[in-house]
Amino acid sequence: ESIFCLLRIGLTLVRTARLKIELRFSENARSEAEDSLSELQTRNVTLYSGGKYSDDAVVTVLEFLDLAVADEKVGPVMEAVARLTEAKLDRVPSATSVRRFAVASLSVAKAHAYEVLDQATDRGEQLCLYSDETNKLGSKLQLFGAGLVKENGVQVIILFGLAQAADKSAPTAFSLVKNRLDGLGRGVSDMLPRVISDWDSLSEAQHKQALTFYVFYCQLHAIANYTNIVLEALAEHERLATGRDVPALSPTVLVVLKEIDRRGCMAAPRIAFSSIDRA
């Protein structure tokens, strides 16, 4: 009987030791779970390391840009999302960094498009260039792309991007100016009889002289007001066509006209003296 008691005591001690070990493991597991939960609740997210932003950060920035988020708003938006998920960001990109990411992505896209086109031409695939033109807010924009026709007949479109183009609708602009000048003539003809006293007592020749003077004055005034508009349009056209930094209201054609005028003034006395000598 005493032996049975000793065996029971031994088994009890073994079970107690096992329970203590399991309890210790359970406590450790609970502690680790609490630490993990705490890290999840207030986790730190590293976006900037080694002097540059991570690839995930760059991709996220590009996704925000694709959603039309402004450059200077990307950082605040990322912080707002982090607060929503109870995360802490070590750093957010500035507007300058965002623009740098966008430019870098464009460079990668251009390199990819070049590689695809180069391989397509090597394989002898059919290539068709596309372009489209539109006017937005007074600026003329052109969209360029290419279509590749695969062996199975499927066409793949590659977009090159948008480029601002010079407005080539000069005839339309001249037609508009002509219509406005003609409109001034008609308007003056209608208004003069109302504003000039004793208009009915004037002769037909006097009517014609008055109309000629006032219409010419109004048209000359309108053309003078168009001068700066035309010069700026010419300067903008030259910037787009040459890529040079052309000062406002100072296109090359104005410099040429001034030089022609200066040369003409210099040559006028010589021509006059030559005529006198021949006489």
Contact (Cβ atoms closer than 8 angstroms) between residue 78 and residue 89: yes
Kindly report, residue by residue over 157-209, the tens digit of the pLDDT.
888 877 777 665 556 666 767 777 788 777 777 877 877 777 888 888 888 88
- Listed residue (108, 117, 128, 113) closest to 160, CA to CA: 113
- Whole-number Å distance between alpha carbons of 69 and 120: 35
Model confidence at 276, pLDDT cuts 50, 70, 90, reads very low
Q: What is the pLDDT of residue 74?
A: 94
Predicted TM-score (pTM) of this structure: 0.39
Name residues whose C-beta falls within 8 Å of residue 60's C-beta, 6 or more positions apart in sequence.
78
Average pLDDT, stretch 133-146? 79
Contact (Cβ atoms closer than 8 angstroms) between residue 117 and residue 107: no
Contact (Cβ atoms closer than 8 angstroms) between residue 274 and residue 268: no
